[in-house]
Amino acid sequence: LSRATVVAPDVGSATEASYYARRLELPLVIMDKRRHADDEKAEVTNVIGDIEGRDALLFDDEVLTGGSMMEAIRNLKERGAKRIMAGCTHGVFSGDAMNRIEASAVETFVRTNTIPLPNGQSSDKLETISVARLFGDAIKAIHNGESVSRLLD
């Protein structure tokens, strides 16, 4: 990626995104979204930072239906993002989520295997990273009375 930028998809994830932006020595963009009470649909209302002509690295902890994430991706593309890479820790991918990913401007969507894909669904855009080794190392550390924080560095 050239000219990459870390993107917080909402204000709640800004602290974590800021941590990664600092570690990677990349700029940070923060998106603010509001949910409409009647249908829980999220709408991006404000974007702090410049994404025009840059590659976006967008990550969230959980993706349920993909609506909020796809709204963020659509908004980034409208604001001139070149390439968009996204991901999540827990991909529930319920309902029409896989079709939303396929139809979106995201180039690659990375997820962990903490939750199985529903009904064997998949996408050419989807990459899965196993957390089995990390979980195994954490269990071993706890069993041996060692710190698990070293596993997260």
- Which phi and psi (to 5°) does residue 86 adopt? -135, 170
Residue positions annotated with a catalytic role: 33
31 half-sphere exposure, CB direction, 13 A CA radius: 27
Residue 111's alpha-carbon distances to 24, 59, 63, 123, 151, in angstroms, are 20, 10, 9, 12, 19
What is the 3-class SS of 67-87, one letter each residue? HHHHHHHHHHHHCCCCCEEEE
Q: Do residues 49 and 58 make contact, with C-beta atoms less than 8 angstroms apart?
A: no
Question: What's the rounded Cα separation, in Å, for the pair 24 and 131?
Answer: 22
